[in-house]
Amino acid sequence: MTSTLALLTLAALAASGATKPNAGLKTWSRFSKLPDPEDKVFLYDTFPKDFIWAVGTAAYQVEGAFEKDGKGLSIWDTFTRGGSRMATGDVGSDSYHNIHADVRAIKQLGVSHYRFSLSWSRIFPNGTRGSYNKIGTNYYRTLIKKLKEIRVQPLVTLYHWDLPEHLQQQLGGWSNPELVDIFRDYADFCFQTFGDDVKYWISIDNPFAVAWHGYGTGVVAPGIKNDSDLPFRVGHNLLKAHAAAWHLYHQHYRPRQRGQLSMALASHWIKPKHTRLESQRECQCSLEHVLGWFAHPLFTDGDYPPCMKARLGPRLPAFTQEEKEQVKGTADFFALSHGAALSFHLINDSLRFRQQEELDLRMLLYWVNAEYDKPSIFVVQSGWYVRSNTKTEDPKHAYYLKRFIAEALKSIVIDGVNVIGYTAWSLIDGFEWSREYGIRRGLYYVDFNTPDMKREPKTSATFYRKVIQRNGFPELPENRPVQGVFPCDFAWGVSANSIQVETTPSQFTDTSVYLWNISNSGALMKVDGFSVPPLRRGAHCADYATIRQQVEEIRQVGVNHFHFSLNWSALVPTGDVAQPNTTLLGYYRCFARQLLKANITPVVTLWHHTRQGSSLPAPLDTENQWQIRETPEAFADYARLCYRELGAHVKMWITLNEPNDEMVSYQEGHQMLRAHALAWHVYDREFRRKQGGQVSLALHMDWVEPAFSFSREDVEPAKRVLDFRVGWFAEPVFGSGDYPLGMRSWLRQLSSLKLPVFNKEDRELVKGTYDFFALSHFSTKLVTRAKEDSYTYNEMLEVQHMIDTTWIMSPRPVVPWGLRKALNWVKEHYSDVPVYVMANGVQEDPARFKDSLRVYYLYNYINEALKAYILDGVNLKGYFAYALSDQRDPGFGLYGQVHEEVIDKASLFNYRNIIQHNGFPVQGAAPQHCPSSQQPCLGCHLLVKWPVLGFLTLVGLGVIITLCLIIYYTAKRHKSECY
């Protein structure tokens, strides 16, 4: 981890440049050059010791009591009563009457700071000092006092969108420049009243939303939308109001109170639709129109961004030189808001400039750092949302928090950005502006139907509390790579769904005559009209060019095993094993023999399940297919044929490969289990003693992890899914001879009769029909009980499938530790059974021959397999990378292909290197000594199987050689006597 981090940091520094105008433009090219996928790997590390952990709310969203104790109306009180709006924040979460409940929740989280906003109209009902409301002011005094008692610092926002309605009605709100001085006076009162206890102030929250949507699109209060230039005049006044408040604080309050003040600026993130520089410039312009609109005047030169001025022209108000000086530098830190309040909700298409919006806090932080000369950045709002019917189980929100916090950590550790704090949004559920109560964003669930608005911690609260306790994501022992080696007899393999078949030998069959054109290209030129008599010889295995080529490719990988599948429908097209395709059978026999010649053990699957087709012989490929009892008997006959014809060369058999597909019905699965058992017993009774091989079935086993292991509500669904996905086939064979108890009881609970019942005969037939446990593993999923997305929700199992948004995707999640957990599941359920990972691989763009993702994938998945072997005691016997070539398994291959040329990918060399070292040996340790494997003697099996015949053959050869020598020397002596 340390070396990887150092490389990433060096790459980050190398890609950085000196600050200059539009310095943020380099952000996109800089991140495109970082090593992939290393840069996407989750970073286990901690935040600086003085890092600020905060949580926040806004007054109108949570306070309620909209007319209580002298409070005046705000523009939101009026706005929510107009148009087609259905709900108001009149009660919200009733925080006005629940200070103790809120403070208790804040204490439970363990945050150091609590961000909240003052309701301007609660302090000054009509917006000015003359309407001062003492009771409303005392509410905030009490809140700050209670925060101090639990050692939590207040982070106070003066204005979070809820302008007093009187100011809107009488003056036109923020469209009137008179509000600059009125806001300054309001800020003066707040600094004077609360400032001794407040070290962080926010003047105005998200001025973009206030100006663009409050006075432009009309999406938020006050809902004005009849003047397209009005938002820019409003933004102008907001900037001047903030600057006035900052100078007031700086001159009159900072010397004594020693606090800091800024303006909370919200932004989306945008990525280029194309790699051209023009697209990057459009992205830059998009950010300048949203974030730069306010950040550029504050942090640069007191004026608007160049792109904004160029495109808007006279529509954009102009600052005088004096105003520029007044605005410039009026922020003590960069207060950044990021998340659902703006991204994907409040950004119009016109502001994307035909580019693609994306959630990426890390890149946004880097852009701010580069564009505004490395300011201290305080993320003052960050989070996501869940549906309104979600209660205390909100893993989606928790994983978005994990993603954003992890991106902030990378920004600090790798990119060198000075991020000083993070604020999760929000503390409790409340009124969500234009979304009303249609979504929830709180870490605490609020039951709006109860009189006391009861607060309950959600999964996200528990997660955030744990992150704060650990100050990030400290590296744990299980996160570190392990060093060590596998046993000497470990099976290193590569898998392919199928092999390339050539039914006619390509060598020694061409009767044409050729001339060698040595004077030109050296090519062979065919001579028309001439041919030679065909050779009178039988076909040999070496005659198949495709076999030679494929075996050589496999040999180059460095493996000692190769796993491939036979084609049942092609081998027995009529369904009658008495009439097999002898040509194809001969080809498979030759392929297995040539593998053995190369010292590679063939591992052969009789039937490979795919969703594209049944691969059953035509008579069985009916609508019912596996549901009829005749199919298992036919499969047993087919297996017998394969054992008889190929068994001399194949010692490892897979009857069924990945039959436990969720698309397979329980009735089909039942007959597949019978088919496997019948085929296993055929081998056990008729061939095992003579051939000495092993037979089992291979199950698909992607890991299923509880969304949160500390939640029992998630642990049980994960166990249930594993029962239904893996235990469905594993338990009858490796365990009790029946389906898992959890599976039967769940279906019984649902009054479902779908699961067949094993009679005594079938139970005895199926149980114990294995010689090893073979599994295919590719990825990991999370499951939770909380329903969030109907598309990925399994109604029957009552589980929500989801992913951790910090995982690498391609297109399935890359989660190496999932393999270790899968292997341990097998050990826990079936003790010391020998285990083979029969297929493990990742899909990557076939055009990428420097397949860095597959290099990362194989290294880390194999390392997790080693942990299972060394640390957990799993009886792991072999590992097979999937797959050999893109030609047969597109996107998964160690070999790529361009037209007819086969390309060795980077992953091939890396996998071969791991095999050569038999794992990851400890540096400096003595090398592992394993007996060298000898090349197989293809005729030696005759001596083993028929020793008498072998002995007589050797004696006969000796007699013949002796007679030849006698005749030779006799003739020689007779010749010498004649002379």
Enumerate residues 6+ apart whose C-beta is below 8 A from 423: 54, 55, 56, 113, 115, 155, 378, 379, 380, 381, 382
Average pLDDT over residues 339-350: 68
Q: List the beta bridge partners of residue 839.
A: 776
Q: Are 648 and 941 in contact (CB under 8 A)?
A: yes
Q: Check whether 341 has a pLDDT greater than 90.
A: no
Q: Check whether 970 has a pLDDT greater than 80.
A: no
- For position 644, what pLDDT does the model report? 98
At residue 446, the 3 state secondary structure works out as strand
DSSP string computed for 858-908: HHHHHHHHHHHHHTS---EEEEEEE-SBTTTSTTT-SEEEETTEEEE-HHH
When pLDDT is cut at 50, 70 and 90, the band that residue 535 belongs to is low
Cβ neighbours around 599 below 10 Å, total: 12
Residue-wise pLDDT tens digits, 55-73: 999 999 999 999 999 999 9
- For position 621, what pLDDT does the model report? 85
Residue-wise pLDDT tens digits, 543-568: 788 999 999 999 999 999 999 999 99
424: left (phi over 0), alpha (psi -120 to 50) or beta: beta
What is the torsion angle, in degrees rounded to the nearest 10, for the CA atoms of residue 11, residue 15, residue 19 and residue 22? -140
Least confident of 338-342, 473-477, 537-541: 537-541
Angle at 821 between CA 815 and CA 825, to 5 degrees: 145
Residue-wise pLDDT tens digits, 254-313: 999 999 999 999 999 999 999 889 999 999 999 999 999 999 999 999 999 999 999 999
- For position 13, what pLDDT does the model report? 40
% of the chain with per-residue pLDDT over 90: 80
Q: Check whether 330 has a pLDDT greater than 60.
A: yes
Q: List the beta bridge partners of residue 607.
A: 656
Least confident of 120-129, 507-516, 600-609, 895-904: 507-516
Q: Check whether 745 has a pLDDT greater than 90.
A: yes
Q: Check whether 878 has a pLDDT greater than 50.
A: yes
Least confident of 43-47, 408-412, 955-959: 955-959
Phi–psi pair at 853, nearest 5 degrees: -65, -45
Q: Check whether 488 has a pLDDT greater than 50.
A: yes
At residue 654, the 3 state secondary structure works out as strand
- For position 165, what pLDDT does the model report? 98
Q: Check whether 958 has a pLDDT greater than 80.
A: no
What is the torsion angle, in degrees rounded to the nearest 10, for the CA atoms of residue 91, residue 97, residue 100 and residue 103? 40
Average pLDDT over residues 503-524: 60
When pLDDT is cut at 50, 70 and 90, the band that residue 974 belongs to is low
When pLDDT is cut at 50, 70 and 90, the band that residue 979 belongs to is very low
% of the chain with per-residue pLDDT over 70: 90
Q: List the beta bridge partners of residue 564.
A: 604
136 membership: H or E segment, kind and range? helix 134-149
Average pLDDT over residues 172-176: 98
When pLDDT is cut at 50, 70 and 90, the band that residue 609 belongs to is confident
CA separation for the pair 338, 405 (Å, rounded) = 12
Which has more pLDDT, 961 or 720?
Answer: 720
Structural domains in the chain, CATH included, are 47-474 (3.20.20.80), 703-770+780-809 (no CATH)
The sign of the torsion formed by the CA atoms of 822, 824, 830, 836 equals positive
Longest dimension (CA), the chain: 147
CA separation for the pair 468, 466 (Å, rounded) = 5
When pLDDT is cut at 50, 70 and 90, the band that residue 15 belongs to is very low
Q: Check whether 7 has a pLDDT greater than 70.
A: no
SS (H, E, C) 175-224: HCCCHHHHHHHHHHHHHHHHHHHCCEEEEEECHHHHHHHHHHHCCCCCCC
Q: Check whether 887 has a pLDDT greater than 70.
A: yes
SS (H, E, C) 265-317: EECCCEECCCCCHHHHHHHHHHHHHHCHHHHHHHHHHCCCCHHHHHHHHHHCC
- For position 339, what pLDDT does the model report? 84
Residue-wise pLDDT tens digits, 643-681: 999 999 999 999 999 999 999 999 999 999 999 999 999
Residue-wise pLDDT tens digits, 382-425: 999 999 999 999 999 999 999 999 999 999 999 999 999 999 99
Q: Check whether 174 has a pLDDT greater than 70.
A: yes
- For position 944, what pLDDT does the model report? 44
Q: What's the chain's average pLDDT?
A: 91
